[in-house]
Amino acid sequence: MSDAVPFIEALKQLRARGLLPTSWDTARLRELDAAVRRQSFFSAQTTETSLLQEYKGIIENIVEPGTEQRADRETASNPSGFTTTGFNPATARAHIKDFLDRIGYQPEKGKAGTLLDLSSDKRVDLVVKTNVQLSHGAGRFIQENADPDVVDLFPALELVRFEDRKEPRDWEQRWRIASSTVGDVDAARCLGLQGRMCALKSSEIWQALGDGAGGYQDTLGNPYPPFAFNSGMWTEEVSRDEAEELGLLDKGEKAEPAAFSLASLFSKAA
């Protein structure tokens, strides 16, 4: 087993995101251009730049944990005693709550413990989780689309569940609506006949899912996961063989990447 290597694309995208303090709530933030949201690091109704800076540091540390060598961790398969160090969700939450305590934050009356309380477990967990996922999702999206060889060999994606939920949202219904909105008959047929939510990387269905086609208000505006807050859904790459078998692509047909400017993921918001 080797020492960790950084998830370069995810890190680069995260580092490019500028801090955006805002008093706007989630509904109003949804009105912002999706590109600006992708290029900014923000949290609804968080005007404190230093808090956003703390969050960003934590997210960066989770996306790229540190490594140290410790004698007590030396094993036959890890003779150098490499140990991963950094935040996990619990220590991240403790750190943010401690920071808010230090700056004297008090939740508004009647809002303690809710998502509107910046120090509530729910709120801190949501901000950390969503931003880590956004970085991972953007990083994988770049890996999936930037290289023509990867696109040729793995021309499609499948929407699958990575995390169980007590009350899962109906993603098949979202898929049907999104495929009909963008006119992706193959994607709709794939679900109807095979029971799988597969579509070409170049399909507009991915952006439609992220835009909440059908009127869903929990989405994040991106053509990559997490398509919605706390959804537990993610994408997996589908090989050319499978994509051809599923009827997404004719034999030997040229595959295209997502029609999306990957460079914009590394730009600063205007």
Partner 1 sequence: MSLAQKIEIEDSASPWLMELKGQVSPHRMAAEVGPRCTRLVQRNFRQLGTNAKGWPSTHFYGRAAEATNWQEGFGFVMIAINQIGIRQRLEGGDIKPVNAGALTIPAMPEAYGKTAGEFSNLKFAMIEDPERGTMRPALVAMRSTSSQVERVNITRGKQKGQTRFKEVSQTFGLQALFWLAKGVHQEPDPSVMPTDGEFEHAFGQSVDALLKE
Q: Which residue number, 16 or 233, has a Cβ lying nearer to partner 1?
A: 233
- At its nearest, how many Å lie between partner 1 and the CB of residue 149? 4
* Between 24 and 105, CB nearer to partner 1: 105
Minimum CB–partner distance for residue 22 and partner 1 (Å): 26
Which of helix, strand or coil describes residue 52?
A: helix
Residue position matching structure tokens 């050319």? 240
Cα(219)–Cα(58) distance, rounded to whole angstroms?
A: 23
State in angstroms the smallest separation of the CB of 84 from partner 1.
5
State the residues that interact with partner 1 by CB under 8 A.
1-2, 4-10, 62-65, 72-73, 75, 77-78, 82-91, 93-94, 97-98, 121, 132-133, 136-137, 139-140, 143-144, 147, 149-150, 152-154, 160-164, 166, 225, 232, 234, 236-237, 239-241
Nearer to partner 1, 71 or 270 (CB): 71
Query: Which residue bears the tokens 């999702």?
Result: 137
Name the one residue in this structure whose structure tokens are 């880590």: 132
Q: CA-CA distances (angstroms) from residue 40 to 35, 152, 203?
A: 9, 32, 26
Q: Which is nearer to partner 1, 62 or 118 (CB)?
A: 62
Report the C-alpha gap between 113 and 92 in whole angstroms: 17
Beta bridge partners of 161: 233
Instruction: Report in angstroms how near the CB of residue 263 gets to partner 1 at its nearest.
Output: 20
| Residue 6 or 183 having the CB closest to partner 1 | 6
Of 25 and 121, nearer to partner 1 (C-beta) is: 121
- Complete DSSP assignment for 130-185: HHHHHHHHHHHHHHHHS-HHHHHHS-EEEEEESS--SS---HHHHHHHHHHHHT-H
In the three-class reduction of DSSP (H, G, I as helix; E, B as strand; rest coil), residue 82 is classed as: strand
Smallest distance, partner 1 to C-beta of residue 81, A: 9
Integer Cα distance of 157 and 56 in angstroms: 29
Give min distance, CB of 100 to partner 1, in A: 13
Q: Quick check: 58 and 130 in contact, CB under 8 A?
A: no
**Minimum distance of partner 1 from residue 48's CB (angstroms):** 21
DSSP string over 176-232: HHHHHHHT-HHHHHIIIIIS--EEETT-THHHHHHHTTTT-SSB-S-SSS-SBTT--
Cβ neighbourhood burial of 85 (10 Å; 0-12, 13-18, 19+): exposed
Minimum Å gap between C-beta 78 and partner 1 is: 6
* Identity of the residue, 110 or 252, whose beta carbon is nearer to partner 1 in the bound complex: 252
